[in-house]
Chain A
């Protein structure tokens, strides 16, 4: 992506005012690295002089989107969670500052540590020799997240400790609402999926911190190891099987070679002591279809109505994925008919 001298200037002035003790602070090489459906992200480097000499850091700006794919962005909530997750030993980026004043960049934003490396999905595809370790890191990081004493770490603000049916019902309500707001036509197949979901809500055994988008696209890898989980915008208190199912669903959807779902589940059970029942996993995978379909439909709208240049690659992917998800869901539920 191209440099953005306008944003660079704004952020340079902002940081000087915000951190007056950082002498000769300079911002350089600010580039937009993600636009469109979700957070707008800029990468840049900043250097300044303090008592011990020059300091240089690679940072990112994570700005709330104008529209977004799910309509419930709250960068403040996300930053609060990230800070507490960091304290709890979860590999997440360090948050340097949060700015809610929309006069700076038009929307609230945060400045965070830039995690070096590559996405887990890319590392998995490019370096087959690292897959075994990545699979272990992927499951053990999830187990660590689910093992957090969320009350003790001040994370109870994320949601209610009620579980039972609450977590799943809330998710179905949320994604149905996103679909309705997207306004791109009725989707009968997704209505059928929602109806099935409401008929088959499992009883959740307990509530844990849930990442909400635990996928190989959000694991970040350096030297063959997962060093951070990114994109905590959907973090919540909920049923841990929702994260397990989302991870399995995404790894399957991405056709990751040598991905072994059964081994992932088995290891998760070993690490957490939580039994992953087949029927619960199936339910949450079906909910994952509804959730991703809502995201792709809502994301298509966000891309189309954005006044910024759009990522045509993501727009095409979203537009293509929507009906394929519906087909997969109908097939999985046994509702797909032979039309010949």
Chain B
């Protein structure tokens, strides 16, 4: 299981306090405070869960796109399209496994983003066989979901609310 980026960032803060800040502190009580702060950060690092509600919304948006894609791929015109079959084989398990009790929201988010990458890469290969307007509607919903994901990511690093960024 991959360690989450926020966890690694907090661990790095603790490591920096220990390896850079504390050796430079001449004042013993200040050094002790810094060491305790580092220890506390290490403890917190293992308990970090990214904003649950926000990730849940992202997961729902991604699942919504997958359902639209799944419905589009079920068209009769695509029944003989091997790329469409491959994409369905990616989407079906993704939609069946949503909300598993065995994964955290952030793990689920990672998994769904991985499926989204495969959908984005695969959509061009089937677009020509889709009815007029279906491919563009699907792309629109992909772009809306991407906007939500990126808007949230920008908000997380800039401290703004989603959509408030530049």
Q: Please list the residues of chain A having a beta carbon within 8 angstroms of any beta carbon in chain B.
A: 183-189, 191-192, 195, 199, 300, 303-304, 309-310, 312, 315, 319-320, 322-324, 326-327, 330, 335-337, 339-340
| A186, A187, A320, A327: residue with the most chain B Cβ atoms closer than 10 Å | A186
Per DSSP, chain B at the interface is: helix
User: In the complex, A122→B144 CA distance in Å?
Assistant: 39
Contacts of B151 in A (CB 8 A): 327, 339
The residue of chain B having its C-beta at the shortest distance from the C-beta of A304 within the complex is B8
A63 vs chain B, min Cβ distance (A): 20
CB distance from A297 to the nearest CB of B (A): 10
Q: Is the CB of A186 within 8 A of B147?
A: no
Candidates A184, A188, A310, A340; contact of B117 at CB < 8 Å: A188
| Inter-chain contact A309/B20, CB cutoff 8 Å | yes
Shortest beta-carbon distance from A66 to chain B in Å: 16
- The distance in angstroms between the C-alpha atoms of A300 and B9, with both chains bound, is 9
Knowing A192-B142, A319-B9, A324-B166 are in contact, say whether A330-B147 is a contact too (CB < 8 A): yes
A303 and B12 alpha carbons, distance in the complex (Å): 9
Cα distance, A318 to B145, chains bound together (Å): 24
Kindly list chain B residues whose C-beta atoms are within 8 Å of the C-beta of A312: 12-13, 16
Min Cβ gap A310→B in Å is 6
- What residue in chain A is nearest B16 (Cβ atoms)? A312
B49 located at the interface, meaning its Cβ lies under 8 Å from any Cβ of chain A in the complex: no
From A340, which residue of chain B is reached at the shortest CB distance? B163
B146 & A192 in contact (Cβ 8 Å cutoff): yes
Number of A-B contacts (CB under 8 A): 97
- Pair A188/B165 contact, Cβ less than 8 Å: no
Interface residues on B, range: 35 or more
Q: Which of B27-35, B71-79, B82-90, B108-116 contacts A (4 or more CB under 8 A)?
A: B108-116
Known: A186-B116, A300-B5, A315-B12. A309 touches B147 (CB 8 A): no
Whole-angstrom distance between the alpha carbons of A327 and B144 in the complex? Answer: 12
Q: Are A339 and B166 in contact (CB under 8 A)?
A: no
Which residue of chain A has the shortest Cβ distance to B8 in the bound complex?
A304
What are 10 A-B pairs with beta-carbon distances under 8 A?
A188-B146, A309-B19, A310-B16, A319-B157, A327-B151, A330-B143, A335-B147, A336-B143, A339-B147, A339-B148
Restricting to B1-48, which residues have a CB under 8 Å from any CB of A?
A: 2, 5, 8-9, 11-13, 15-16, 19-20
Does B102 lie at the interface of the complex (its beta carbon under 8 Å from any beta carbon of A)? no
Residues of A within 8 A of B15 (CB): 310
**Pairwise interchain contact A309-B146, C-beta atoms closer than 8 A:** no
Instruction: State the CA gap A327–B8 with chains docked (Å).
Output: 24
Of the candidates B13, B146, B153, the one whose C-beta lies within 8 Å of that of A335 is B146
Contacts of B117 in A (CB 8 A): 186-188, 191
Question: Binary interface profile of B, 132-143, with partner A (CB < 8 Å = 1, else 0)?
Answer: 000000001011
A189 CB, min distance to chain B CBs, angstroms = 5
**Within the complex, what minimum Cβ distance (angstroms) separates A180 from chain B?**
10
Could you say which residues of chain B place their CB within 8 Å of the CB of A199? Answer: 124
> Does B51 interact with chain A (Cβ within 8 Å)?
no
Partner of A337, one of B9, B143, B165: B143
Given A191-B120, A304-B9: A323 in contact with B113 (beta carbons within 8 A): no
> A210 to nearest B CB, angstroms?
27
Residues in B with CB closer than 8 Å to A337 are 140, 143-144, 147
Q: Would you call B126 an interface residue if the criterion is a C-beta within 8 Å of the partner chain's C-beta atoms? A: no
Report B-chain residues with C-beta under 8 Å of the C-beta of A183.
2
Among B9, B124, B165, residue most surrounded by chain A Cβ atoms (within 10 Å): B9
